Amino acid sequence: MTPTETAAIILTGVFFMAMVAIAIQSAENQRRERQMQLLSIRNRIRGTEHLLDNLPAEFQSKALRSLLIQALRNLWVSAARLDRNPGIQEALQKLDEREKEPFTPPGFPANQITLFQDRNTAQRNRSLVRETAQLIMELKQQNALSSQAAQQQLVQLKVAYQRCSCDLLIMEAQHALNDRGPQVAIHKFRSATMQLRRLNHQQQLEAQLSRLNTLIQELETQLHTDSDSAQSVPVSRP
């Protein structure tokens, strides 16, 4: 074998090894990219499931629930293209069952003037509303949701966000009532009532407004009584 032939064989071997290395690296890059895509999809699945499970039922509607379920279904289908995990099919079946479940938003809690029990709950739920609105915007940008459907949901979520803010204002008024008395608190209660009236387009806030109005009337009566008592106190003269 001549030196030229030997060199040709060596070069061929080197070329073959280089091609194998490139193929292996390409396959590894594709595997990593697929894993990154799958990780991103699973993170989005967890985020959407969190909203579906934790967004207060008072702020959900059948249309919004269907929208979130469809978003989850699309994510699971995308995951199935990258991963043959049999659990994906089970997750899709559970979504189908969940979508068939009857849903009726609960009424306003009895014996309360706020929708939620405490500030932390109101703040947490307001954050959930904001996250849901962000998801709606993302779906619209991805052309997974029409502009009209997105706008309808965003309007409802804006009302939900403002209701959480009103809850926080009412709780602030309750705190002021305990610490500083009705003179300061009544203005905050009135402000919250005015804001809720603006949101009461479908008369869905009548129970809360009725209780707030009753409380405001009681505070007004108390203030008038205190004022009359102060005026009736005789002034001592030297």
- Specify the pLDDT at position 85: 84
pLDDT exceeds 50 at position 238: no
Domain spans of the chain? 31-106, 107-222
- State the average pLDDT over residues 216-234: 75
- Cα–Cα distance, 181 to 185 (Å, whole number): 6
The reported pTM is: 0.83
Amino acid at 143: N
Task: Give the residue-averaged pLDDT of 201-206.
Answer: 90
Average pLDDT score over the chain = 88
Rounded Cα distance between 56 and 160, Å, is 10
Among 16-20, 23-27, 149-153, 228-232, name the one with the lowest average pLDDT. Answer: 228-232
Q: Under a CB-based contact definition with an 8 Å cutoff, are residues 15 and 7 in contact?
A: no
